[in-house]
Structure 1
């Protein structure tokens, strides 16, 4: 069988696809991997055939990238040059083995182009990997529209209207003109609403999070297979640096701060964190590959690292302060580490709300971060014995989490 995997975005978007791609290859399937050019080393290290797609790195500095409502449109526009290449590459791969049973597994933002591929390649099946619950529109509770929770008393009809209104305001004006132009060139009908179109493109949806984190909803697309978290790390056993080892051994467990590897706009976040830990007498590890956003001077109570596998770091820390990306959230849950989630945009608000509801941590909206608020939030997390016990209990749920084999078998059945 032939599987083509296509994704966009940061390493956090890439790793779940690597988790699946490696497993499919180990089961004897052919796997071709399409992704942003800057991630080539990750894909090649996993032993997969890589096809690079153009990547707009300037988007990382766009002022609206992390905006609660405008951020999705920014991501959409930045990824269109790469997605425009998807039909051409998929059609070329299909010509190499015209009689193969073939599945195209894509990031949800690639589904419009995946639909074009399906019409161009007879027999091609399309699957979508939904990385976080918030990516799947629903009218059922718990429901957040960006950072705003929708009260339980709001009827389903009004919730559907709210979803469509949000899409009509934030995404449709940016996405529909180009999409409908591409569809018209192929003789396909126009799309009126992205939120009514995207979830129903795939022949199979994969929800890459367990049901104890987000139970399936009646209006999620079908057929749907729900798996556990795709906890992939390219170097899970990488030894910590000598500086980090010495720091961890030199005092009480620190608090780890990370705004996400793709965030180059976190200067205020790190300044607030530095002032907060100094005020509280805490030690801290700052994780970011973008050193220019750190305070000019870091005291001896702060250790900066470009990257450390969370799997190896979290067992040695007091708490994790992070942006609420689904991969980071899952790693903290698995480690039983208390969390302070500081969401900015996209699925992060929903992930934060779920962590709080499960008793795994607290949340502070990134737009409200100040040194004083950061300090108050940390006081409620660090050293909180009840929160630590609840976090440890959540980690036990991973013992029964299904592996990737069931997911691969479902994809093979689709093929």
Structure 2
């Protein structure tokens, strides 16, 4: 469930597990069917491509206050039963392990009802609530200033009076059908499998906190991005060879309403006198005509373009954030919702990037931020220092080790 940034890590993990001799079946939206089959994994349809587009086409998906409730209603709760049934129908008793994200309510219920081992896989630290190191959220920016006891009280109040009343009635109604007791504290506790919580990010990005779930393991950023699977656009090398390193812009793979983002991208690029690459599979968002120094491509694996780029401008998703860090280039974010504000905070704190809220994301302001990032020797030095963390990292092997160890 989710965008390319949500699905790619699970494909990469599946490929790594298959290389170790495991049979891997990926439950995923039809939108990713061809990709899953191209890498040699078994595909199980979770929902249709039309369902994916319907979910992505609503502006609430990226609204700072409405996004969670939209995802919960139209993603998590809507498909909870379907997810459970797929797992029940496809399990091999005694020989099945499920790895699922925090959106996988159906997988968590299958663990409790059917006894199928489940490993919770979290792509970003944002989903791990902590009163020690509190994730940043766009609607409650003051949280990290509070003492721990007030943070705990805030989490408890928000869960009891806002989150649980929204997600628990439908979830517990389904649980009641299965003879399971009601659950509570859905996102504070219940979504984390008691068997193991796999954090697909490194400790240098987010330290493991004392109040995180037991059996939590941090590995590293997956960085799987269709390299050597999806062909590069034939015009890409020619463009890169005849331009200075471009600025790469993308509002996210599932954004369908990015007209303002791309308009600002073009203006900022021209103000700076730079070249740029605009990435989106939905070109109707782009200005009608682009100058010769700016090119649009549907998709390019970041690992094959960012090492030749000057900077990445993006929405703040964890996958894009990690790829820019691995390439050793500065990044400018336009965080909207979900984990994006937290990632933006962490990047700025590490002195490898900056951010602008959507209402401030104009060509003039983007150009100003980029100018400072591109011309700062300190930013470049910090980017190269962070890049060193990736040189000998093998996060997929670590993640496979965690999964295999948890089920022995």
1:169 Cα deviation after fit: 6.5
| Preserved contact between residue 120 and residue 192 of structure 2 (Cα < 8 Å) | no
Matches within 5 A, 1:341-380: 341-380=333-372
State whether structure 2 residue 316 is matched by structure 1 residue 324: yes
1:10 aligns to what? 3
Structure 1 residue 153, shift from structure 2 partner: 4.5
Tell me, in whole angstroms, the C-alpha distance in 1 between the residues paired with 2:139 and 2:341: 6
Larger relative strand fraction: 1
Once the 2 structures are TM-superposed, how far is the Cα of residue 203 of structure 1 from its aligned partner? 1.4
1:63-86 Cα distance to aligned partner (Å, 9 max, x none): 211011211221222223433212
Aligned to 1:72: 68
Aligned-pair CA distance for 1:361: 1.0
User: Which of 21, 25, 35 pairs up with 1:32?
Assistant: 25
Instruction: Note the C-alpha offset of 1:166.
Output: 4.1
Name which of 247, 256, 264 aligns with 2:248: 256
Residue ranges of structure 1 left out of the alignment (5+ in a row) = 1-7
Counterpart Cα distance in 1 of 2:376 and 2:5:
29
Structure 1 partner of 2:291: 299
Moved more, 362-371 or 211-220: 362-371
Query: Could you tell me whether the CA contact under 8 Å between 2:121 and 2:198 is conserved in 1?
Result: yes
RMSD over aligned CA atoms reads: 2.0
Aligned to 1:129, the other structure's residue is in SS state: strand
The 1-side partners of 2:262 and 2:305 are apart by: 19
**1:21 — aligned with what?**
14
Which residue pairs with 1:106 in the alignment?
A: 100
Distance 1:316 1:83, change over 3 A: same
Please list, as runs of the form range in 1=range in 2, the aligned pairs for 1:8-407 lying within 5 A after superposition. 8-55=1-48, 56=51, 57-79=53-75, 80-94=77-91, 97-98=92-93, 100-110=94-104, 112-122=105-115, 124-146=116-138, 148-150=140-142, 152-167=144-159, 171-236=163-228, 240-407=232-399
The 3-state SS of whatever aligns with 2:59 is coil
1:221 and 1:197 map into 2 onto residues whose CA distance is: 8
Aligned to 1:4: none
Structure 2 spans left out of the alignment, 5+ residues: none
Q: Measured at CA, do residues 318 and 120 of structure 1 come closer, stay the same or move farther in structure 2, by a change above 3 Å?
A: same
Deviations 1:144-191 (A, max 9, x none): 133543365411121123234444566434322210110111222223
**Aligned partners of 1:236 and 1:312 also within 8 Å:** no
Superposed CA offset, 1:273-297 (max 9, x none)? 1112222222111111111111122
- Aligned-pair distance for 1:411? 1.4
Does the 8 Å contact 1:340/1:362 carry over to 2?
yes
Following the alignment from structure 2 to structure 1, what is the Cα–Cα distance between the partners of residues 135 and 373? 25
Change (3 A) 1:135 1:153: closer
Q: TM-score, normalised by structure 2?
A: 0.93
Q: Deviations over 1:188-231 (max 9, x none)?
A: 22233323343444411000000011111111111111101111
8 Å CA contact retained: 2:245, 2:309 = yes
The offset of 1:237, in angstroms, is 7.2
Given that residues 108 and 193 in structure 2 are in contact (C-alpha distance below 8 angstroms), is that contact kept between their aligned partners in structure 1?
yes
Measured in 2, the distance between the counterparts of 1:229 and 1:61 equals 28
Q: Deviations over 1:24-44 (max 9, x none)?
A: 222222222111111111211
Distance 1:37 1:83, change over 3 A: farther
